[in-house]
A and B are shown apart, each in its own frame.
Chain A
Amino acid sequence: MTVRIKFRKFGVLKFIGHLDVMRYFQKAIRRAGIDVKYSMGFSPHQLMSFAAPLGVGLLSDGEYFDLEVNSLTSSEDMKKRLNECMVEGMEILSVKLLDEKAGNAMASVQAASYTVRFYEEKLPVFSLKDAVKRLMDKDKIPVVKTTKKSTVEMDLREGIYELSADDDKKEVTMLVNASSSGNIKPNFVIKELYHEMGEVLGDFDIIITRNETYTGTLNNFVPLDFEATLF
């Protein structure tokens, strides 16, 4: 049996990287006494799979991982037990049972939504709304993406599904591709907004929060645990 667990990462926990978040949960699951399933062998490990790694510095209200378990109590009980051993900065939002036919968390991820805010002393000097309009009017936004192995040219525009801004709140929200093949980092989009207005985004100007992680298809994206059920 597999449960899909949704959690929120906030506060100082944004400084904890993905691998350490995995280690954190492995220990938390032991503390909570969850009847987790282990692999075989001399160093058994928990059968756990995370959806979309979150970079250091980012906050999130919509993180997911799958956990294989031997037995279930109830969604509420498991959530409560896990929350009792969280630190400030981690909160379990839900524990749901995954359909046996469902794909694993990582492979299911297709899109993610983000809200981008600015440090007070780093607010943009132009209208974000205008910048969004200009960017979205383009057919193509060629950018160079550097990976560990190579640099590839890609079109940012086709991966931006929704983009909007609020000049009063000084916020940008977006829905972008988060699949393994076409993942878009939100700071890339903001960089392009600045570029559009002849400005340069600094390295430490913005605070990014992932709001939700989605599966499904374009125009029909649903949260990653949409088909999982409370028990």
Chain B
Amino acid sequence: MNKLALSDEILLTIEKPARYIGNEVNSVKKDLSQVDVRFCMCFPDVYEIGMSHLGIQILYDMFNRFDDVWCERVYSPWVDLDAVMREKKIPLFALESQDPVKDFDFLGITIQYEMCYTNILQILDLSQIPLMACERTEEHPIVIGGGPCTYNPEPLADFFDLFYIGEGETDYRALLDLYKEYKAKGWSRKEFLLKAAQIPSIYVPSLYRVEYKEDGTIATFSPINENVPTTVKKGLVPEMDNTTYPMKPVVPYIKVTQDRVVLEIQRGCIRGCRFCQAGQIYRPVRERSAVLLKDYAKQMLTNTGHEEISLSSLSSSDYTELPELLDYLIEECNEKKINISLPSLRIDAFSLDVMSKVQDVKKSSLTFAPEAGSQRMRDVINKGLTKEVILQGAKEAFEGGWNKVKLYFMLGLPTEKEEDIRAIAELANDIAALYYDTIPKEKRNGKIQIVVSTSFFIPKPFTALQWASQNTKEDFIEKAYLTKKSVMEQLNQKSIKYNWHEADVSVMEGVFARGDRKIGKVIKRAYDMGCLYDAWGEYYKNDLWLQAFEEEGIDIGFYTTRERDLDEIFPWDFIDCGVTKEFLKREWKKAMNGEVSPNCKEKCQGCGAMRFETGICIKA
């Protein structure tokens, strides 16, 4: 019989006990006497969110393919169990063995968004592992972070022993072998960390010293030991057909956000949108072959029993073998009664044809992400989408029977003016008008429904806009108000619904995104004051955050609104993600001039990713 870390009484009192019992289909159990390294993989959010993440499934599968490693999972206990565990001093446990996380060799935490930072402290705290890396001893697990937010790990530098920068498939084996040697030879934790720093992709924050100028910016950022490299190069999978992929992903009992088979068709993106971090850090684009993907799809559907399959990539329409792959999937899935969920494809004749085959046109909606209302603004961010293209796509869609449209925009982009914001409402209105012009009254399936959503622009590291000044909360709210007012002024305003994102949390996200080591103490203070689940609107406590900044004497504006000098040393400059700072500077200057850049397929822009000698860089 499987043992459980929590009593029946606790499990029957809290919400969704299935979050904490493990034992799911395809979860991996191993004989402890046969493994050397116990790795606990964590997604610091609630189970349903964490279980939907592909990256963890990939690494869980990869680690468990190693005979000497047993990888288990842990997620953030929801607030109800959090309270019980604190009260009863129950140590946080891994799902598979139900053993305390503190007894593991590694605790690996994937860091997917900035607003999960207090949840990371919760994980450490409930695990009874010291929050500060410097307080840990040989008795504690090695705490390692990975994922997109580690492209600026500095706000979290105090809490982690190591960060893995880049794609996890490449360098973990070397780290595990080094760990085994550390245990066998009885090195100190410090000796282990020093040696780990010499493995590619591994960043050991405690081995670097930061000195600041009087104005608070960085003067120097350097290793404290000559054996530690000055730059950390990201890990990158050279051949997507030649890496591991989870053929037997874990199937949860409860409904999770991504309750389906996920096929990662490619990594990276050819479109250099200047606000998009993913578009830069995953360069160069590397595709998986359709032949392989067909086989994966078949195996994964058989092994999970899922009734839906989805494609994953940053821009599926750019995948060269898409028609072949979709033809196969449509046939296979139709026969097996499996739904295909299509990620936001570029709306054109091809995608509309595919969508009409796999969705109920009357119920589904079209998604456009122009990101900015005016052409000038779209040129600034290098979003290669024109009004003509949007209207042409919409027209074809209306003729195909669709009448629901979702439009996504950002507010607060650099150089944005009032007319750019008004253009958002005008574009929505033009789409509505086009519907009434295109579809005669008797053929209409009701009114057109347009939903306009805006988020606030947050400059991210390793993007061309990393130098940009972020708007204040007041600017954001004013701009959202102007958008709303402009929508109300449109002729077709009754067909347009407008939603906007919270301003407070966007400011905070901006601080963490471009934060430095000084932010760590603010995160700790906010956590101590009770901040947790900040990504969940109902639990986000802006007042406490503001108080934490105040008490630590940290100026929010320094990180958000401040104009950055072109030659400023950024906290993340020590990371080499392939794309060079010189390239980003060129792109930033072009952005300020409203000049567009062609995409990787059209013309190489010399971003630096060529050094990997793979993918699109060597295809042309």
A binds B: yes
Q: Is the CB of A20 within 8 A of B253?
A: yes
Q: Which residues of B contact A57 (CB under 8 A)?
A: 8, 12
Q: Which residues of A contact B253 (CB under 8 A)?
A: 16, 20, 23-24
Chain A residue with Cβ nearest B259: A23
Stretch at the interface among A83-91, A98-106, A131-139, A160-168: A83-91
Instruction: Indicate whether A12 sits within 8 Å of B305 (C-beta atoms), given known contacts A42-B359, A44-B337, A204-B9.
Output: no
Stretch at the interface among B15-23, B170-178, B444-452: B15-23
Quick check: is A188 within 8 A (CB to CB) of the other chain? Answer: no
Chain B residue with Cβ nearest A44: B337
Q: Is the CB of A28 within 8 A of B305?
A: yes
Report Cα–Cα, A15/B23, bound state, in Å: 11
**Smallest CB–CB gap between A81 and chain B, Å?**
12
Quick check: is B494 within 8 A (CB to CB) of the other chain? Answer: no
Q: Is the CB of A29 within 8 A of B8?
A: no
Quick check: is B83 within 8 A (CB to CB) of the other chain? Answer: no
Report Cα–Cα, A23/B308, bound state, in Å: 13
Q: Which residues of B contact A27 (CB under 8 A)?
A: 25, 251, 304-307
Q: Which residues of B contact A11 (CB under 8 A)?
A: 1-2, 23
Chain B residue with Cβ nearest A32: B305
Within 8 A of B (CB), among A9-26: 11-13, 15-17, 20, 23-24, 26
Quick check: is A231 within 8 A (CB to CB) of the other chain? Answer: no
Quick check: is A219 within 8 A (CB to CB) of the other chain? Answer: no
Quick check: is A31 within 8 A (CB to CB) of the other chain? Answer: yes
Tell me what chain B mostly uses at the interface: helix, strand, loop, or mixed: loop
Q: Which residues of A contact B363 (CB under 8 A)?
A: 42
Quick check: is A123 within 8 A (CB to CB) of the other chain? Answer: no
Report Cα–Cα, A43/B339, bound state, in Å: 7
Q: Which residues of A contact B1 (CB under 8 A)?
A: 11
Report Cα–Cα, A207/B13, bound state, in Å: 15
Report Cα–Cα, A162/B358, bound state, in Å: 54
**Smallest CB–CB gap between A118 and chain B, Å?**
12
Q: Which residues of B contact A185 (CB under 8 A)?
A: none
Q: Which residues of A contact B306 (CB under 8 A)?
A: 27, 30
Chain A residue with Cβ nearest B29: A88
Within 8 A of A (CB), among B248-278: 251, 253-255
Quick check: is A56 within 8 A (CB to CB) of the other chain? Answer: yes
Q: Is the CB of B2 within 8 A of A29?
A: no
Chain B residue with Cβ nearest A27: B305
Within 8 A of A (CB), among B331-372: 336-337, 339, 359-360, 363
Q: Could you say which of B17, B301, B336 contacts A15, with CB atoms under 8 Å apart?
A: B17
Quick check: is A38 within 8 A (CB to CB) of the other chain? Answer: yes
**Smallest CB–CB gap between B6 and chain A, Å?**
10
Quick check: is B303 within 8 A (CB to CB) of the other chain? Answer: yes
Q: Which residues of A contact B254 (CB under 8 A)?
A: 20
Q: Is the CB of A56 within 8 A of B339?
A: no
Q: Is the CB of A85 within 8 A of B25?
A: yes
Chain A residue with Cβ nearest B2: A12
Quick check: is B438 within 8 A (CB to CB) of the other chain? Answer: no
Q: Which residues of B contact A15 (CB under 8 A)?
A: 11-12, 17-18, 21
Q: Is the CB of B18 within 8 A of A16?
A: yes
**Smallest CB–CB gap between B153 and chain A, Å?**
37
Q: Is the CB of B305 within 8 A of A29?
A: yes
Number of interface residues of B (CB under 8 A): 32
Contact with B along A143-154 (1 / 0, CB 8 A): 000000000000
Quick check: is B24 within 8 A (CB to CB) of the other chain? Answer: yes
Report Cα–Cα, A27/B252, bound state, in Å: 11
Q: Which residues of B contact A31 (CB under 8 A)?
A: 25, 302-305
Q: Which residues of A contact B23 (CB under 8 A)?
A: 11-13, 87-89
Contact with B along A51-68 (1 / 0, CB 8 A): 000001100000000000
Chain A residue with Cβ nearest B21: A12
Quick check: is B4 within 8 A (CB to CB) of the other chain? Answer: yes
Q: Which residues of B contact A56 (CB under 8 A)?
A: 12, 17
Q: Is the CB of A30 within 8 A of B18?
A: no
Report Cα–Cα, A87/B253, bound state, in Å: 11
Q: Which residues of A contact B339 (CB under 8 A)?
A: 43
Q: Is the CB of B21 within 8 A of A23?
A: no
Q: Which residues of A contact B24 (CB under 8 A)?
A: 87
Q: Is the CB of B360 within 8 A of A42?
A: yes
Q: Which residues of B contact A89 (CB under 8 A)?
A: 2, 23
Report Cα–Cα, A155/B1, bound state, in Å: 39
Report which residue of B1, B302, B305 has the largest number of chain A beta carbons within 10 angstroms of its beta carbon: B305
Report Cα–Cα, A23/B360, bound state, in Å: 23
**Smallest CB–CB gap between A62 and chain B, Å?**
20
**Smallest CB–CB gap between A6 and chain B, Å?**
20
Chain A residue with Cβ nearest B1: A11
Instruction: Indicate whether A26 sits within 8 Å of B307 (C-beta atoms), given known contacts A11-B2, A12-B4.
Output: yes
Q: Is the CB of A204 within 8 A of B12?
A: yes
Q: Which residues of A contact B305 (CB under 8 A)?
A: 26-31, 85
Chain B residue with Cβ nearest A204: B9
Q: Which residues of A contact B301 (CB under 8 A)?
A: 30
Q: Is the CB of B337 within 8 A of A38?
A: yes
Report Cα–Cα, A183/B125, bound state, in Å: 46
Report Cα–Cα, A131/B46, bound state, in Å: 45
Contact with A along B275-315 (1 / 0, CB 8 A): 00000000000000000000000000111111100000000
Q: Which residues of B contact A13 (CB under 8 A)?
A: 23
Report Cα–Cα, A17/B17, bound state, in Å: 9
Within 8 A of A (CB), among B1-44: 1-2, 4, 8-9, 11-13, 17-18, 21-25
Which 10 pairs across A and B sit closest by C-beta, in order of nearness? Answer: A27-B305, A30-B305, A31-B305, A15-B17, A204-B9, A42-B360, A44-B337, A12-B21, A38-B337, A20-B253
Residues of B within 8 A of A (CB): 1-2, 4, 8-9, 11-13, 17-18, 21-25, 251, 253-255, 301-307, 336-337, 339, 359-360, 363
23 contacts between A and B (CB under 8 A): A15-B11, A15-B12, A15-B17, A16-B18, A16-B253, A17-B18, A23-B255, A27-B305, A27-B306, A29-B305, A31-B25, A31-B304, A42-B359, A42-B360, A56-B12, A87-B25, A88-B2, A88-B23, A89-B23, A119-B8, A204-B8, A204-B12, A207-B8
Residues of A within 8 A of B (CB): 11-13, 15-17, 20, 23-24, 26-31, 33, 38, 42-44, 56-57, 85, 87-89, 119, 204, 207
Beyond A16-B253, A27-B307, 8 additional pairs, beta carbon < 8 A: A20-B18, A20-B254, A27-B251, A28-B25, A42-B359, A43-B339, A89-B2, A204-B13
